[in-house]
Structure 1
Amino acid sequence: MIYIVYLISGIIFIIAGLVLRYFPPKSINGVIGYRTSMAIKNKETWDEAQRYGGNSMIVFGIINFIIAAFTYRIHALSNEVFQIMFLIVGSIVVIIIVEVHMKKMFNKDGSRK
């Protein structure tokens, strides 16, 4: 039954990514959105972080969903520890991917390269 957790967490990441991608917060705020020091530099960095962060979350959610589809057959993946580690590591990877993208697109002061 642990694959249900995979399915639900995958769906949550996909929905959150879609919301960030297509309905991003209009202004920089401290509550909703992808918020890192680079993302909150200015409106341009904010908008790019929401767009790219949303896309990254969608991809991670799809990967999580695919793993769920095969979990019932692969018993090594059918435990809570693996799911928690996958979510933690996956979330960190999403942040790293977005931050690397932001550093490629913007200077440290938030101006576009």
Structure 2
Amino acid sequence: MAFRVFMAFAVFLIPGTMVFFGRLMMDHPPKTINAAYGYRTTMSMINQDTWDYAQAACAERWRRWGRVLALITLVVLIFALRRPAFADVLGIYTAFETAYLLASVAATEMDLRRTFDREGRRKA
């Protein structure tokens, strides 16, 4: 039973982290470009305008996508915990969650590239 509780907690780490940090970044976005806190990629750190845009876009996306992922995780968890090989199912599902998290980063990067050119100037 303890292992099932641990696995349930483990699969909620990624959606929980997305929702928590999405909300945190919405309420307290990093004001200046830094290497410690915020959405930090090469494109987002070009200038203050790209930085501010990336923080807002990533925060909103993580908050929304994290909630969706949490609901999906709950459904998967309900069905997976009934199976004898639930740990295998949840291990594979964690790979899906990781891909989902990376897709949110890719989507934010695409937003940045649609909005800004390579030098960080807004496209007309």
Common fold: TM-score over 0.5: yes
Q: Does 1:94 align with 2:104?
A: yes
> How far apart, in 2, do the equivalents of 1:28 and 1:43 lie?
7
Question: Secondary structure of 2:12's match?
Answer: helix
Shift in Å, 1:112: 0.6
Q: 1:5 to 1:63 in 2, by over 3 A?
A: farther
Amino acid at match of 2:103: V
> Where do 4+ consecutive residues of structure 1 move more than 4 Å?
none
Aligned-partner residue type, residue 109 of structure 2: E
CA deviations on 1:56-105 (whole Å, 9 max, x unpaired) are 111221122102321243228x5342243023201210111000000111
Percent of aligned pairs with the same residue?
22
Amino acid at match of 1:101: D
TM superposition score normalised by structure 1: 0.86
TM (norm. structure 2) is 0.79
CA distance in structure 1 between the partners assigned to 2:67 and 2:116 by the alignment: 28
Query: C-alpha separation between the residues in 2 aligned to 1:80 and 1:44?
Result: 40
User: What are the ranges of 5 or more consecutive residues in structure 2 without an aligned counterpart?
Assistant: none
Larger radius of gyration: 2
How far off its partner does 1:49 sit? 0.3
Matched positions, count: 112
Task: Report the Cα distance in structure 1 between the residues aligned to 2:27 and 2:119, rounded to whole angstroms.
Answer: 26
Instruction: Say which of 15, 35, 40 aligns to 1:35.
Output: 40
Question: Does the 8 Å CA contact 2:15/2:66 hold for their aligned counterparts?
Answer: yes
Partner of 1:65: 70
